[in-house]
Amino acid sequence: MSRSPSPRARDKLRSLQLLARQGIDLPLTGIAHSPDDTSDLIAMVGRRALVVKLVEGTQGIGVVLAETRPGGGRA
Tens-digit pLDDT string for the chain (75 aa) = 556 656 666 677 788 889 999 999 988 777 777 778 777 877 887 767 777 776 665 666 667 777 766 665 555
Q: Can you give the pTM of this predicted structure?
A: 0.52
Q: How far apart are the first and last CA of the chain?
A: 42
Q: Can you say whether residue 18 is alpha, beta or left, with left for phi > 0 and alpha for psi between -120 and 50 degrees?
A: alpha
What's the confidence (pLDDT) of residue 71? 60
What's the confidence (pLDDT) of residue 43? 81
What's the confidence (pLDDT) of residue 21? 93
For residues 42 and 25, give the distance between their C-alpha atoms in angstroms, rounded to a whole number: 21
Domain assignments of the chain as residue spans, ordered by start: 7-66
